[in-house]
Structure 1
């Protein structure tokens, strides 16, 4: 957790809770629609990998968001996680 008591939230958590679950979408569904490896989407929702620019573009295209949305989530997560280490 950081100083305000809120833990850093990984973009994979946002992806699954705010997009995939409400849409009834599985990891396989999203991977297939995006032409992206299912194993990589699985790692993302398990918070094991970072979002790269290419993945941000694909997520934005298929989820009606922007690449900046996904990249900002990732950079915010990275910054908060780093601050925790220094706090």
Structure 2
């Protein structure tokens, strides 16, 4: 079991370690398969955690691998939220809510 405070895995790492690498698909081949505006450098940026997985990217990955777009977006959201929490200053609970017992 992973500790609760560990940094979540970036979707680019999941893309590489769980999909491309085991299937022996190069980043270049994957970019060609996706077509359109996809290039090897764009795939590389995602794999190397330099680019976020957007809704459009998640839809492309879902189509290519038979997953859901939500799978990819949830990975990205968990990753982003973890970093936001690292820089977040806790705000105290409103006094009105303390009285109610929330």
TM-score, length-scaled by structure 1:
0.88
What pairs with 1:1-87 in structure 2 (closer than 5 Å)? 4-35=4-35, 36-86=38-88
Query: Structure 1 residue 82: deviation in Å?
Result: 1.1
3-state DSSP of counterpart to 1:16: helix
Q: CA contact under 8 A between 1:8 and 1:81: conserved in structure 2? A: no
Q: Distance in 1 between matches of 2:78 and 2:87?
A: 14
Greater relative contact order (CA < 8 Å, ≥ 6 in sequence): 1
C-alpha distance after superposition, 1:19-63 (max 9, x if no partner): 111101111011011111221101000000001111111100001
Query: Structure 1 residue 5: deviation in Å?
Result: 4.4
Unaligned 5+ residue runs, structure 1? none
Larger radius of gyration: 2
Match of 2:92 in 1: none
3-state DSSP of counterpart to 2:21: helix
Which stretch has the larger CA shift, 44-53 or 4-13? 4-13
Unaligned 5+ residue runs, structure 2? 90-102
What is the number of residues matched between the two proteins?
A: 85
